[in-house]
Amino acid sequence: MFIPTRAAGLEALAEFVPVAGPDYARDRNHDLGPSERAVSGLSPYLRHRLVTEHEVVAAVLDRHSLQAAEKFVQEVFWRTYWKGWLEQNPEVWRRYRREVDELAAGDAPAGLEAALAGQTGIEAMDAWVRELVDTGYLHNHVRMWFASIWIFTLELPWQLGADFFHRHLLDGDAASNTLSWRWVAGLQTRGKTYLASASNISRYTDGRFSPEGLATSARALDEEPLPPRTTVEPGDVDGTVGERAGLLVHEEDLEPASLLAEHPSLAGRLAAAAVSSDPAGRSPAGVSDAVAAFTSGAVADAAERTLDATGRGARVLSDAAPSTVVDWARSEGLDAIVVPLAPVGPVRERLDALRPVLASEGVALVTLRRRWDGVAWPHASRGFFPFRERIPELVRQL
Ligand SMILES: Cc1cc2nc3c(=O)[nH]c(=O)nc-3n(C[C@H](O)[C@H](O)[C@H](O)COP(=O)(O)OP(=O)(O)OC[C@H]3O[C@@H](n4cnc5c(N)ncnc54)[C@H](O)[C@@H]3O)c2cc1C
C-alpha cells in the first residue's frame, strides 16, 4: 500500500490535493476499512520527511483557500505541535522509554498476550490488530478507539499499547505516538480522557463494528509531575563546519535538497554524503518486517537523491553504529559530519551517543534544523488550542 519513495509520496499528495478542502473536513473521521480512505495516507511519507510538511501545506493551499482547507492544514500542524511540545518536555520520552523497559522486563499483565495476538474477543479490536500488523497503518479515529479500549476496557498499561504501535506503524513517531496515547489516557491534558463508545464506533465505521462490553467511564491516569520545560534553542545551525564536511542523512529527514536549500552556505561544500537508519531503535522489541522494509526502502531512495559537492552519490551505511559512522568519516577524511536535526526520540538518542565518539576522533557533529521547526516549535509550549490560533500566522511566515 505504501511505496517507500519520495516519488510515491508526491504522487499520493497530488492525488489527495483535490479533496483536501471541504471533502476532507466532512469525511475525515470515517474509517472506511483497509481498502478505502477519506484521508490522505501521507503520514509514512511525512514522518520520514520523504515529503515535507511545507510541501504538503503549500500544495494544498495552491488549490484551496486556508479557510476551505483549514481542517487539513490543522491536522498537519498537529504533527508539528507534538514534535515541538516533546522538544520542550524531553523527560516525557525518557520516562516512557524507561517504563516500557520495566514493563517488558516484568511479568506480562493479564490479557496482554491475547490483545497482541488479536484474540480479545472484541471483534473490532481484533480486526484492528490484524489491520495494523498487515498494513502498518490505522486511521486516526481507529487509533483513538484502539488506545481507549486498550487502556479503559482491557485495563492494559498504555505504554505497552504505544510500544505495540511503534513496532508496527510505518509512521511510528516518538512525538505523535507517545503524546497521543498520553492524551487518550488523560495524562497529556491532565484529567481529560478519551472514552470510545460503541455508538461512535458504529457511526464512523458505517456499521461495520459495534462492540459490546466497552468501559463506560474513563478515569484519568496519574503520574509524577514533569520537570520544568526546556526552551527551544533559537539558531538553526548547531556547530561549526570545518574544511571537509560530510552529510549524513537519517530516517527523520530524508529530503536533503530542501534542507540544504535553507542553508546555502553548506550546499556546495559537502565533501561526501551517506545515509543510515536503525528503525529497530523505536522499541526494545525491535520493529516489524514491514516497518524495517519501509524504512530501509525510504533510506535507499534518499541515497539516490543525495549527492556530494562533486556529484558523487551517497553511500548507504550498513548500520547506524558509531563505529560504522567513524569508519566512513575516516575513509573520507572528514572533520565534521552534518546531520538534519532529529527531534526528541530514538534517532536523537543515537546522535547524542555518536557525538562524543566523533569528538574523540576530532570530528564535529553539526545539526541543521528546518525553518519550519525553528519557527513553529517555540509556540508548542502549552495546549494545542493556543497553538492552533497561530496557524494562519505561521502559514504566512512559512
Ligand atoms: C493513539 C494514536 C497514536 C498515533 N501514533 C502516530 C504515529 O506514531 N505517527 C504518526 O505519524 N501519527 C500518529 N498518530 C496521529 C494520526 O493518527 C496519524 O498521523 C494519521 O492517522 C495519519 O493518517 P493520514 O496521513 O491519512 O492522516 P490525514 O488525516 O490525512 O492527516 C494529514 C497529516 O496530518 C498529520 N496528522 C493528522 N492527524 C494527526 C494527529 N492526530 N496527530 C499528529 N499528526 C496528525 C499527519 O502528518 C498526517 O499525515 C497517532 C494518533 C493516535 C490517536
- Tens digit of each residue's pLDDT (9 = 90 or more) over 31-48: 988 888 999 999 999 999
Q: 3-state DSSP helix/strand/coil percent for the chain, to nearest 5?
A: 55, 5, 40
Instruction: Considering the chain, tell me which residue range(s) the CATH 1.25.40 domain(s) occupy.
Output: 6-84+376-397
Q: How many residues does this entry show for the chain?
A: 398
**Within 13 Å of residue 259, how many CA atoms lie on the same side as its CB?**
29
Q: What is the pLDDT along the chain (398 residues), one digit of tens a residue?
A: 899 999 999 999 999 999 999 999 999 999 988 888 999 999 999 999 999 999 999 999 999 999 999 999 999 999 999 999 999 999 999 999 999 999 999 999 999 999 999 999 999 999 999 999 999 999 999 999 999 999 999 999 999 999 999 999 999 999 999 999 999 999 999 999 999 999 999 999 999 999 999 999 999 999 999 999 999 998 999 998 889 999 999 999 999 999 999 998 887 789 999 999 999 999 999 999 999 999 999 999 999 999 999 999 999 999 999 999 999 999 999 999 999 999 999 999 999 999 999 999 999 999 999 999 999 999 999 999 999 999 999 999 99
195 lines ligand 1 (CB under 6 A): no
Q: What phi-psi label fits residue 136: left (phi over 0), alpha (psi between -120 and 50 degrees) or beta?
A: left
Q: What is the pLDDT of residue 34?
A: 84
**Within 13 Å of residue 155, how many CA atoms lie on the same side as its CB?**
7
Please give the Cα distance from 112 to 161 (Å, whole number): 9
* Cα 176 to ligand 1 centroid, rounded to whole Å: 7
Q: Which fold has domain 237-369?
A: Rossmann fold (3.40.50)
Nearest residue by C-alpha to atom 3 in ligand 1: 177
Please give the Cα distance from 308 to 268 (Å, whole number): 8
Nearest residue by C-alpha to atom 22 in ligand 1: 43
Residues 244-278: b if buried by 16+ CB within 10 A, e if exposed: bbbbbbbbbbbbbeebbebbeebeebbbbbbbbbb
144 lines ligand 1 (CB under 6 A): yes
Element (H, E) at 364: strand 364-368
Q: What is the pLDDT of residue 28?
A: 97
Please choose from 43, 51, 86 the residue to mutate so as to test ligand 1's pocket, defined by most ligand atoms within 8 A of CB. 43
Say what the alpha-carbon torsion angle 320, 325, 331, 337 is, to the nearest 10 degrees: 130
181 lines ligand 1 (CB under 6 A): yes
Nearest residue by C-alpha to atom 21 in ligand 1: 140
Q: From the CA of 174, give the closest atom in ligand 1.
A: 8
The correct answer on CATH 1.10.579.10 for the domain covering 108-204 is yes
169 lines ligand 1 (CB under 6 A): yes
- From the options 1.25.40, 3.30.70, 1.20.144, 1.10.3470, give the CATH code of 6-84+376-397: 1.25.40
41 lines ligand 1 (CB under 6 A): yes
Instruction: Considering the chain, tell me which residue range(s) the CATH 1.10.579.10 domain(s) occupy.
Output: 108-204
Q: What is the pLDDT of residue 186?
A: 98
